[in-house]
Structure 1
Amino acid sequence: MDRRTFLRKNTAVLTAPATGLAERPAEPGGAEEETVSRYANTALPSTARSTAGIAPYTGTWGYEQAAHLLRRTLFGPTRTEIVTAAGRSLTQVVNDLLTVPAAPAPPVNVSATDTSVAIGSTWVTQPFDQNFESVRRSSLRAWWLGQMLTQNLSLVEKMTLFWHNHFVIEFGDINDARHAYQYTALLRQHALGNIKQLAKDVTVNAAMLRYLNGNQSTASAPNENYGRELLELFTVGKGPLIGAGNYTTYTEADVQAAARVLTGWRDNQATISSYYTASRHDTGTKVFSAAFGNATIPNGGDQEYKTLIDLIFNQPETARFLVRKLYRWLVYYVIDATTEQNVIEPLAQLLIQNGYNVAPVLRTLLSSEHFYDAVNMGCLIKSPLDFTLTVGRQLQITFPPASNPVAQYGMWDYLNSLTNLQQQLVGDPPNVAGWAAYYQTPQYYEMWINAVTLPRRNQFTDQMISTTGYTRNSFKINIDVLALVQSLPAATAQEPNLLIAELARLLLPISLTTGQLAFLNDVLLPGLPDFEWTDEWTQYLAAPTNTAKKTAVTTKLQALLRTMMGLAEYHLS
Structure 2
Amino acid sequence: MNRRALLQPHLLAHRAPAKASAMLAPAGGPGDPPEAISPFANKALPARLSTTASTLAPYAGPWGVAQATHLLRRSLFGPTRGEIQAAASSSLSAVLDKLLTPSAAPSPPLNVSTADTTVPIGQPWVGQAFDQTLEGARRTSLRDWWLGQQLGQGTSLSEKMTLFWHNHFVVEFSTINSAQYGYDYVRLLRQYALGNIRQLAKDMTINPAMLRYLNGNASTAGAPNENYGRELMELFTLGKGPLIGPGNYTTYTEADVQAAAKVLTGWRDDPATVTGYFTASRHDTSTKQFSAAFGNAKIAPNGASEYKDLIDLIFRQSATAAFLVRKLYRWFVYYVIDAQIESDIIQPLASLLVSSNFEVAPVLRALLGSEHFFDMANVGCLIKSPLDFTIGVCRQFELAFPPASSPVAQYGMWDYLYSLAYVQQQTLGDPPNVAGWVAYYQTPQYHELWINAVTLPRRNQATDLFLSTTGYARNGFTLKADLVAWVQALPPATAADPNLVIAEFAQLMVPLDLTANQLAFLKNALIPGLPDFEWTAEWSQFLSAPTNTAKRNAVALKLSAMARALAGLAEYQLS
TM-score by length of 1: 0.97
Q: Answer yes or no: is the 8 Å Cα contact 1:469–1:477 preserved in 2.
A: yes
1:30 maps to 2:31: yes
Alignment-derived partner of residue 320 in structure 2:
318
Q: Aligned partners of 1:90 and 1:415: how far apart in 2? A: 32
1:136 maps to 2:138: yes
SS at match of 1:263: coil
Alignment-derived partner of residue 6 in structure 1:
6
Alignment-derived partner of residue 60 in structure 2:
58
Where structure 2 has 5 or more consecutive residues not aligned to the other structure, the ranges are none
Alignment-derived partner of residue 43 in structure 2:
42
Q: Aligned partners of 2:369 and 2:415: how far apart in 1? A: 36
Alignment-derived partner of residue 192 in structure 2:
190
Q: Answer yes or no: is the 8 Å Cα contact 2:206–2:276 preserved in 1.
A: yes
Alignment-derived partner of residue 272 in structure 1:
274
| Amino acid paired to 1:113 | A
Q: Aligned partners of 2:161 and 2:379: how far apart in 1? A: 19
SS at match of 1:57: coil
Aligned-pair RMSD on alpha carbons? 1.8
Alignment-derived partner of residue 419 in structure 1:
421
The change in CA–CA distance for 1:117 and 1:278 in structure 2 (over 3 A counts) is: same
Alignment-derived partner of residue 127 in structure 1:
129
| Amino acid paired to 2:126 | V
Q: Answer yes or no: is the 8 Å Cα contact 1:168–1:434 preserved in 2.
A: yes
Alignment-derived partner of residue 390 in structure 2:
388
SS at match of 1:111: coil
- Per the TM alignment, residue 545 of structure 1 is displaced from its structure 2 partner at its CA by 2.4
The change in CA–CA distance for 1:38 and 1:157 in structure 2 (over 3 A counts) is: same
**Count of residue pairs brought into register by the alignment:** 570
Alignment-derived partner of residue 368 in structure 2:
366
Alignment-derived partner of residue 254 in structure 2:
252
Q: Aligned partners of 2:46 and 2:32: how far apart in 1? A: 33
SS at match of 2:269: strand
Matches within 5 A, 1:129-528: 129-528=131-530
Which is further off, 517-526 or 61-70?
A: 517-526
Q: Answer yes or no: is the 8 Å Cα contact 2:7–2:435 preserved in 1.
A: no
| Amino acid paired to 2:300 | P
SS at match of 2:478: strand
Q: Aligned partners of 2:19 and 2:32: how far apart in 1? A: 17
Alignment-derived partner of residue 76 in structure 2:
74
The change in CA–CA distance for 1:189 and 1:469 in structure 2 (over 3 A counts) is: same
TM-score by length of 2: 0.97
| Amino acid paired to 1:4 | R
Q: Aligned partners of 2:10 and 2:448: how far apart in 1? A: 17
Q: Answer yes or no: is the 8 Å Cα contact 1:110–1:139 preserved in 2.
A: yes
| Amino acid paired to 1:100 | P
- Per the TM alignment, residue 34 of structure 1 is displaced from its structure 2 partner at its CA by 2.1
Q: Aligned partners of 2:191 and 2:525: how far apart in 1? A: 47
Map Cα deviations across residues 436-480 of structure 1 (whole Å, 9 max, x no partner). Answer: 000000000000000000000011111112222111111110111
Q: Aligned partners of 1:71 and 1:480: how far apart in 2? A: 21
Alignment-derived partner of residue 552 in structure 1:
554
Q: Aligned partners of 2:64 and 2:251: how far apart in 1? A: 43
Map Cα deviations across residues 244-277 of structure 1 (whole Å, 9 max, x no partner). Answer: 0000000000000000000000000111111100
SS at match of 1:65: helix
SS at match of 1:36: coil
- Per the TM alignment, residue 87 of structure 1 is displaced from its structure 2 partner at its CA by 0.4
- Per the TM alignment, residue 37 of structure 1 is displaced from its structure 2 partner at its CA by 1.6
- Per the TM alignment, residue 550 of structure 1 is displaced from its structure 2 partner at its CA by 1.8
Q: Answer yes or no: is the 8 Å Cα contact 1:137–1:177 preserved in 2.
A: yes
Q: Aligned partners of 1:457 and 1:149: how far apart in 2? A: 18
Alignment-derived partner of residue 120 in structure 2:
118
- Per the TM alignment, residue 225 of structure 1 is displaced from its structure 2 partner at its CA by 0.3
| Amino acid paired to 2:74 | R
| Amino acid paired to 2:537 | D
- Per the TM alignment, residue 485 of structure 1 is displaced from its structure 2 partner at its CA by 1.1
Q: Aligned partners of 2:470 and 2:18: how far apart in 1? A: 34
| Amino acid paired to 2:353 | L
The change in CA–CA distance for 1:22 and 1:246 in structure 2 (over 3 A counts) is: farther
Q: Answer yes or no: is the 8 Å Cα contact 1:48–1:339 preserved in 2.
A: no
| Amino acid paired to 1:3 | R
Q: Aligned partners of 1:258 and 1:3: how far apart in 2? A: 20
Q: Answer yes or no: is the 8 Å Cα contact 1:265–1:276 preserved in 2.
A: yes
- Per the TM alignment, residue 14 of structure 1 is displaced from its structure 2 partner at its CA by 5.7
One of 91, 103, 113 as aligned partner of 2:105: 103
| Amino acid paired to 1:387 | F
SS at match of 1:471: strand
Q: Aligned partners of 2:117 and 2:29: how far apart in 1? A: 35
| Amino acid paired to 1:99 | T
Percent identity at matched positions? 65
Where structure 1 has 5 or more consecutive residues not aligned to the other structure, the ranges are none
